[in-house]
Amino acid sequence: MNEDNLNNIRHSLSHLLAGAVLSFYPDAKLAIGPAIDTGFYYDFEFSTPISDKDLEKIEQKMRELMKKWSTFEKKEITVRDAEKMFAGNPYKLELIADLKKDGSKPTTYTSGDLTDLCAGPHVASTKEIPKDAFKLERIAGAYWRGDEKNKMLTRIYGLAFESKEDLTAYELQQKEAEKRDHRRLGKELDLFCFSDLVGPGLPLYTPKGTIIIDELQKYIESVCRKYGFEKVKTPHMAKRILFETSGHAAKFADELFAVTSPKGHQFILKPVQCPAQTQIYASRIRTYKELPIRYMESDRQYRAEKTGEVGGLNRVYAITCEDGHSFCRVDQVKQEVVNMVNIIRDFYTSLGLWKNNWVSLSVRDYAHPEKYIGDTKDWDLCEKMLQEVSDEMGLNAKKCEGEAALYGPKLDFMFKDAMGKEIQIPTVQLDFATPKRFNLTYIDNMGKEVNPVMVHRAVLGSYERFLVLLIEHFAGNFPVWLSPVQIKIIPVRENHNDYAKKIADEIKAQGVRVDFDNTDEGMGKKIRAGKVNKVPYMLVIGDKEIEFGELALEIRDGAKQEKITLEKLKTKLQKEISERL
């Protein structure tokens, strides 16, 4: 079966859904009902609210109608007839008006006693619809045409596939994704939490979660230092004028948090890091000789997201951003971009994510220059330079119009995680505009004041989203260097405690995070706890180990234990931790 057929099935099912709904709620108004990736939906305006308890009877009705309906009869009608036919339905009338504007002819499809304004196509006969490969999934609210100014309709989602196997496979995959869900694993592995008193969208990191974040930060900073980045710190809030100057006040408008005090202070919580960093650059005269000047900072920034959109770590009010900026001369820009692409490539390669990836050369929306700041000339140059870097480094970047940042074009790097979900995190962005807005300058070799170029870059993006990626990609089985506990040591009996402790201390002295578990519990239980917590390595230490001087290493991913001497184990751990893999 090809994709068109599947779409026909899904679309036909949405008509069946409409028919079934109308049989129970004759005064429900139909809006639209397309086929989607996993099935279909139909939007209705109900006069009385329905609940998901009603889905069962509606689905049953669909199955009944399937037997009664046979074909979908297509008919081309005039706009006037269409307007008459759907007179009581504002949604269809709006669609008809659109058709009229485009000069296209409305068509209807009739099956059973339902005639719907519809572009088709459909299955030739309802017999083509597999009976056991669809089900109604859930009820949701949806604005007419997705616009929150419009009326809220009730959407009924259904799953539909070619076969029962496909449906089952999809549901299984959903279950697997649920097991990896960072919200669930975050709780199970004790990485972060939320508090009613602190507030939604404000994650609290536990000691274990903090270890992961600190490790990431230490690593990325050490890599960036090699490329000349220096760490800076800027405050969480600043005067509004800072963001008005940068253009972020306009861009983020209703997403800014304002801070006031009874004494009359008024500040804005920073929505981005760059404006404050420009002021470090601006703190004294710069010369062409000291460029590029590179600052990096991992700090919180704040955005007032829509209340209905915060959830888990994906969308939060307080974002920890790993951000860096390079202030450089035009003739240094390309090298800076190359450096940053190298950092990104190395980092993601080490995590095993540098495959199935693609790069977007995100350029401006040429039809709407008003959405951006800066000169057209600068934009042209920036876009050209990024194209050259892509060509020279073999990135094969795909040009995506309208995806640029406020102040300049960028290279965005896309990956697929273990579940096939597309991740867009790292980015390198060119910016001629911000230095001009802040009047940043350096003295060039002719003694003239010139604006530098800013190159923005993010490798991890935000720690929050990066943690989501890590948790879900690895299903909580973090690489050793990121694991909150790297090795768990379990004495068999009380009289092995001393020996085991000695080994634990020796390993700990190597800078390894060791959990020495001499609690009064059965060792089976301790091993289970270690497995549940996804600790990469465990050592069980008893008579045999003491007698033979060899350790039995339990490996998280392996079924078998490995015999290893303490010295070899120390070397192995050291290697894995320093190799970041």
Contacts to RNA from residues 5-44, by CB under 7 A: 11, 32-34, 36-38
> Judged by CB, which is closer to RNA: 1, or 140?
140
Between 23 and 38, whose beta carbon lies closer to RNA? Answer: 38
Cβ atoms of 490 and 527 within 8 Å: the answer is yes
Q: Of the two residues 309 and 567, which places its CB atom closer to RNA in the complex?
A: 309
Q: Cβ 540 to RNA, closest distance in Å?
A: 4
Q: Which of these segments, 141-149, 370-378, 456-464, 499-507, binds RNA (CB under 7 A)?
A: 141-149
Residues 494 and 334: their CA atoms lie apart, in Å, by 63
- The secondary structure of 311-333, three-state, reads ECCCECCEEEEEEEEEEECHHHH
184-213 residues near RNA, rule: CB under 7 A = 187, 194, 196, 199-201
- The two tokens of residue 164 are 């029962």
Applying CB under 7 A, does 468 fall inside the site for RNA? no
* Helix and strand element counts for the chain (H, E): 18, 28
Largest CA distance in the chain: 95
Q: Describe the strand order of the beta sheet including 398-401 as a list of residue ranges.
A: 229-231, 293-302, 318-328, 453-458, 422-431, 410-416, 358-363, 398-401
The smaller minimum CB distance to RNA, of residues 71 and 107, is found at 107
Q: Which is nearer to RNA, 282 or 564 (CB)?
A: 564
Give the nearer residue to RNA in terms of CB position, either 330 or 527: 527
Q: With contact defined as beta carbons under 8 Å apart, do 463 and 406 qualify?
A: no
- The footprint of RNA on residues 299-338 (CB under 7 A) is 306-312
Bridge-partner residues for 106, per DSSP?
none
CB of 221 vs RNA, minimal distance in Å: 30
Binding mask 170-189 for RNA (x = CB under 7 A): -------------x---x--
Site for RNA in 240-299 (CB under 7 A): none
Stretch that binds RNA, among 62-70, 135-143, 324-332, 355-363 (CB under 7 A): 135-143
CB of 521 to RNA, least distance (A): 6
**Chain residues 214-233 in contact with RNA, contact rule CB under 7 A:** none
Q: Does 420 bind RNA (CB under 7 A)?
A: no
Residue whose CB is less far from RNA, 194 or 348: 194
Pick out residues in 72-111 that bind RNA (CB under 7 A).
92, 95-96, 98-99, 104, 106-107
One of 127, 218, 398, 531 touching RNA (CB under 7 A): 531
Q: Which stretch binds RNA (CB under 7 A): 56-64, 115-123, 216-224, 402-410?
A: 115-123
Give the interface size with RNA as a residue count (CB under 7 A). Answer: 73
Report in angstroms how near the CB of residue 86 gets to RNA at its nearest. Answer: 8
Sign of the Cα pseudo-torsion (92, 93, 94, 96, in order): positive
Name which position in 87, 177, 250, 532 contacts RNA (CB under 7 A): 532
Is 538 an interacting residue with respect to RNA (CB under 7 A)?
yes
Cβ atoms 85, 112 nearer than 8 A:
no
SS3 258: strand
Rounded-to-integer distance, Cα 287 and Cα 431, Å: 19
Cα separation, 277 vs 67, whole angstroms: 68
Binding residue for RNA (CB under 7 A) from 78, 525, 578, 579?
Answer: 525
Site string for RNA, 148-167 (x = CB under 7 A): x---x-xx------------
Sheet strands (E) in 337-397: 358-363
DSSP 292: P
Q: Is the peptide bond before 121 cis (omega within 30 degrees of 0)?
A: yes
- 502: nearest Cα among 546, 555, 561: 546
Is residue 521 at the binding interface for RNA, with CB under 7 A as the rule? yes
The yes or no reply on residue 495 touching RNA (CB under 7 A) is: yes
Are the CB atoms for 486 and 514 separated by under 8 Å? yes
- Closer of 12 and 339 to RNA (Cβ): 12
Angle at CA of residue 58, ends 53 and 63, nearest 5°: 140
